[in-house]
Amino acid sequence: MQCIVNRRAQFSASHRYWLPELSEAENIEQFGACSKFPGHGHNYVLFISMAGELDEYGMVLNLSDVKHVIRQEVTSQLDFSYLNDVWPEFQQTLPTTENIARVIWQHLAPHLPLVRVQLFEHPELWTDYMGNGMESYLTVSTHFSAAHRLASTQLSDEKNFEIYGKCARPHGHGHNYHLEVTVKGEIDSRTGMIVDLGALNQVIEDYVVEPFDHTFLNKDIPFFAEVVPTAENIALHISNLLRSPIQELGSQLYKVKLIESPNNSCEIYCTQSEASSANNTSNEPVLARL
């Protein structure tokens, strides 16, 4: 029986986004505060996922051995380092979150049966790399607070209460929504980026956070005048709002995850490949409720 096991590690390091072939003004324009000398640092958290068959001892791998490999090949070299100088790969392609994960994969792949390298730069920014050349995934998270009422205008109050329970109460209720937006793209061979992070954050702010925050969704967002603002419908609407603006940035919207509460969340997968894998031959996003 095949199983995937995960090992967590961490390291602290600094880096700077700076291309010597660009002028100071051009570097500032492209990388903003990340271009400042001598750089800035992060407490990186790393998750290594590995697949294999269970052995006679009930293990895929001896995690003590895995820990040693990760320390020897990665964390002992990166911890308390200046990433631009520590590995030669970062001379050619800047040590962005996306590219660090890709290069970590390259260092570990000869030693471990990898299926994913996930690297958190901080709790609101992380990347997933699966060994597919320069293809990578970048996730940013944010939040907004909003109220809603789960009730269809096409149904009676009695029927709404039957379907939605106390969520159909006439004055609604609120949530602190946590939103995760994942984009997919090719890592630029020089900048190390799959998308301009500042531009991506601005798109999410302009299309979602600013218009949604501190609203009563049913009344303040026109789309929900007739559509019941369930977590699923909110996530689907957000995916439709973000798809084109993110494509204009040169990347592809891959997933929208909306966490309504610690107990309820849903995910919308926005790529045709995911739709096909779920036996959906249309261009509609695929929903997963967790």
Catalytic residue among 260, 266, 267, 270: 260
Query: Do strands 252-261 and 286-289 pair parallel, antiparallel, or not at all (unpaired)?
Result: unpaired
Cα–Cα distances in angstroms (integers) from residue 227 to residues 58, 145, 217, 232, 265, in the given order: 49, 19, 10, 11, 19
Cα–Cα distance for residue pair 204/193, rounded to 1 Å: 18
Q: Binning pLDDT at 50, 70 and 90, where does residue 255 land?
A: very high
The predicted pLDDT at position 188 comes to 97
Task: Delineate the domains of the chain, giving CATH numbers in brackets.
Answer: 1-131 (3.30.479.10), 134-290 (3.30.479.10)
Mean of pLDDT values over 76-90: 97
Give me the catalytic one of 89, 111, 167, 232: 167
pLDDT value, residue 2: 84
pLDDT for 65: 96
Q: What is the pLDDT of the chain when averaged over all its residues?
A: 93
Q: What is residue 279's predicted lDDT score, i.e. its pLDDT? A: 42
What pLDDT score does 284 carry?
58
CA 78/CA 43 separation, integer angstroms: 11
For the chain, give the percent of residues with pLDDT over 90.
90
**Predicted TM-score (pTM) of this structure:** 0.92
Q: pLDDT-derived band of residue 280, with 50, 70 and 90 as boundaries?
A: very low
Residue 52: partners with Cβ closer than 8 Å, 6 or more residues away: 2, 3, 5, 60, 61, 113
- Is residue 214 part of the annotated active site? The answer reads yes
Helical residues (DSSP H) of 139-249, grouped into ranges = 157-164, 197-204, 210-212, 217-220, 231-248
Type of residue numbered 140: V
Contact between residue 236 and residue 204 where contact means Cβ atoms under 8 Å apart? no
Average pLDDT over residues 124-132: 98
pLDDT at 57: 87
Query: Prior bond to 222 cis, omega within 30?
Result: no
Catalytic residue, chosen from 214, 226, 248, 284, is 214
Task: Give the integer Cα–Cα distance in Å for 202 and 248.
Answer: 13
Least confident of 66-80, 211-225, 248-262, 274-288: 274-288
pLDDT at position 22, please? 96
